[in-house]
Structure 1
Amino acid sequence: MSDPDLNLLLTLDALLAEGSVAGAARRLRLSPSAMSRSLARLREATGDPLLVRAGRGLVASPRALELRERIGPLVKEALAALRPADALKLDRLEREFTLRTREGFVENFGAALLARVATEAPGVRLRFVPKPDRDSTSLRDGSVDLETGVIGSTTGPELRAHALFRDRFVAVVRQGHVLANGKLTTKRYAAGRHVAVSRRGTAAGPVDEALSALGLARDIVVTVAGFSEALALARGTDLIATVPERHTAHLRDGLQRLELPVAVAPFTVSLLWHPRMDGDAGHRWLRSCVREVCQ
């Protein structure tokens, strides 16, 4: 048996409300003959006459009276589902959003973001989770709402992105470090003892490529997975940490920042999300909050 035409629900609702073929036709802007054909299909689908002639009018059958109580609310709900969502009421929004970021984001932007959220939508809760890799699965499956990072070859091609800010690499050493005195040349920088940052354990990066072009290489004595670890080692030793300048601004408190002696291209940190969330009003509001806080 084939599935019934759900468009007939609108027809039945109009017929039961108007009590006549002509009235239902006017209501749905159809011809009386088209409405008569639809009534015939409804009778066939329900196995009931639904509307029976009585004198010059039509009266509803017991089955039609039973359906009238159910069809009206059902049609209203269906029509509401197909209309644009109601305007977002931030003061009534109760929802938790999950953001995946690298260390440094919460330290630099978290407080301002929380203040903005608390002011506009006090019922919203944020959950920050670490970003150990660039895999886009968590955005696809919905376990993460938003992510920050640099767009690369492993970024899902379907993801939406909005640039948050430009960043660049700088060298960081403890106060009183020998490199803080005098001009920092490429040879002095390369000859120092370095802590490298790599989530995959491979120390080579854009700085090493720039040095290699000059016939130089860093003396990397330890590799860590995150910026905060690298800066902690730089703070307590003579190691040199090379980290993003803006992303680690608060993490570098009390440390000496030095300009790199080699040319390394700046990069853009972006906000990433899955396109299925484009039309979600709450998600759209949070995206605007993150953008404004970062910019």
Structure 2
Amino acid sequence: MHGVDLNLLLSLDALLTERSVTGAARRLGVSPSAMSRTLARLRRVTGDPLLVQAGRALVPTPYAEELSGRVHALSRDTQEVLRPAANRLDLASLHRTFTIRAGGRFVELLAVPLLAAIAGTAPHVRLRFVPKPDKDAEPLRDGRIDLEVGVLGTSAPELLTQLLFRDRLVGVARTGHPLFETGAVTPERYAACAHVVASRRGNFHGPVDDALADLGLSRTVSLVVPGYADAMCVARGSDLVAAVPRSCLGNGVVADHAAGLGLAGFDLPVRTPEFAISAIWHPRLQADPAHRWLRETIAAVCRGACP
């Protein structure tokens, strides 16, 4: 396509529509003299006069009449193709299914408000949540997953992230647990309880144990379960104490919301590191306007639903 100038196509469309050098120049924001030179160039390229004088007006030649409809369609399509992608996003007519990899508690807490936020502006968009057995980056790379929500734990250097919120561990135990009967929850009284630990890898030891060890304390972990929802279920039905992310208890005051679950929440008597919950995606979707809209929507829902 050496020598092809798409600007000539746009100029020809303007000239055939306006049938006036001055009108075409005004439409494209150039000077009448520049448009006259373009018309001369178009005549050389096509080998046809295209527009000829008829009194004080210009009229198209038969060849120009033949070209008019095709040129207008090509000009419109060219401008559509070269328009920034974000300007082409019509949420009302968007038909798309997004696959999101997230933990069970994220789905439980945020799937409903996220669906409500999406349904109001993009009624034809569907969401598919899939579990997180691991943090393998390959599903993000090959397109099986559009977005992951969680703690970044992969070594794939090309992945992009957006911070959604910061989280921390809190303690939960059943309402009426002996831990709450006598005063404050001290490190010693906390360590003396039996504990249930959530660990995808089945580990008995975690950051709480490190924090207790700094104080010369240790605890008894009686049970390890795969996820935080399982740990909360066990804590609700036993005397075992669990440590779960603050976001697992939803928004609002910890104790008030936990009470509705049959649990009492409390601040851990030891300091554990905060951790970042992020949206994670592959760079091939960075500029995709629909994906950008999904990321922004999830971020807004998290700001409203998470501490």
What is the TM-score of this pair, normalised by structure 1? Answer: 0.71
Equivalent residue letter for 1:276: A
CA apart distance, 1:69: 1.0
CA apart distance, 1:70: 0.8
Q: How many residues align?
A: 292
Equivalent residue letter for 1:49: D
Structure with the largest fraction of helix? 2
CA apart distance, 1:222: 3.8
The answer for the alignment partner of 2:303 in structure 1 is 291
How far apart, CA to CA, are the structure 2 residues paired with 1:29 and 1:124? 39
Deviations 1:78-100 (A, max 9, x none): 4456277379675x665544443
Q: Percent identity among equivalent residues?
A: 45
- Determine which of 239, 253, 257 is the counterpart of 2:265: 257
The answer for the alignment partner of 2:229 in structure 1 is 228
Deviations 1:208-267 (A, max 9, x none): 221222233333344332112222333445433211233145788223434422122444
* Greater alpha carbon shift after TM alignment, 18-27 vs 255-264: 18-27
The answer for the alignment partner of 2:169 in structure 1 is 169
The answer for unaligned runs of 5 or more in structure 2 is: 251-256
CA apart distance, 1:286: 5.7
Equivalent residue letter for 1:198: S
How far apart, CA to CA, are the structure 2 residues paired with 1:280 and 1:259? 37
The answer for the alignment partner of 1:49 in structure 2 is 48
Task: Describe the shift of the 1:53–1:236 C-alpha distance in structure 2 as closer, same or farther (beyond 3 A).
Answer: closer
The answer for the alignment partner of 2:287 in structure 1 is 276
Equivalent residue letter for 2:270: V
Secondary structure at the residue paired with 1:4? coil
Deviations 1:110-158 (A, max 9, x none): 4444445556655544333333445566666665555443467859676
CA contact (8 A) 2:135 2:154 kept: no
How far apart, CA to CA, are the structure 2 residues paired with 1:278 and 1:233? 43
What is the TM-score of this pair, normalised by structure 2? Answer: 0.69
CA apart distance, 1:168: 2.9
The answer for the alignment partner of 1:16 in structure 2 is 16
Does structure 1 residue 240 correspond to structure 2 residue 251? no
CA contact (8 A) 1:104 1:227 kept: yes
Alpha-carbon RMSD across the aligned residues, in angstroms, is 4.3
Equivalent residue letter for 1:75: S
CA contact (8 A) 1:158 1:275 kept: no
How far apart, CA to CA, are the structure 2 residues paired with 1:31 and 1:176? 83
Secondary structure at the residue paired with 2:104? coil
How far apart, CA to CA, are the structure 2 residues paired with 1:44 and 1:203? 81
Task: Describe the shift of the 1:25–1:220 C-alpha distance in structure 2 as closer, same or farther (beyond 3 A).
Answer: same
The answer for unaligned runs of 5 or more in structure 1 is: none
How far apart, CA to CA, are the structure 1 residues paired with 2:273 and 2:127? 33
CA apart distance, 1:9: 0.7
How far apart, CA to CA, are the structure 1 residues paired with 2:108 and 2:221? 27
Give the alignment of 1:96-245 within 5 angstroms.
96-118=97-119, 122-134=123-135, 144=145, 147-150=148-151, 159=160, 161-164=162-165, 166-174=166-174, 177-182=177-182, 184-245=185-246
Task: Describe the shift of the 1:190–1:156 C-alpha distance in structure 2 as closer, same or farther (beyond 3 A).
Answer: farther
CA contact (8 A) 1:233 1:239 kept: yes
Task: Describe the shift of the 1:187–1:291 C-alpha distance in structure 2 as closer, same or farther (beyond 3 A).
Answer: closer
CA contact (8 A) 1:198 1:223 kept: yes
Does structure 1 residue 65 correspond to structure 2 residue 65? yes
CA apart distance, 1:68: 1.0
CA contact (8 A) 2:247 2:306 kept: no
Equivalent residue letter for 2:16: L
Equivalent residue letter for 1:170: V
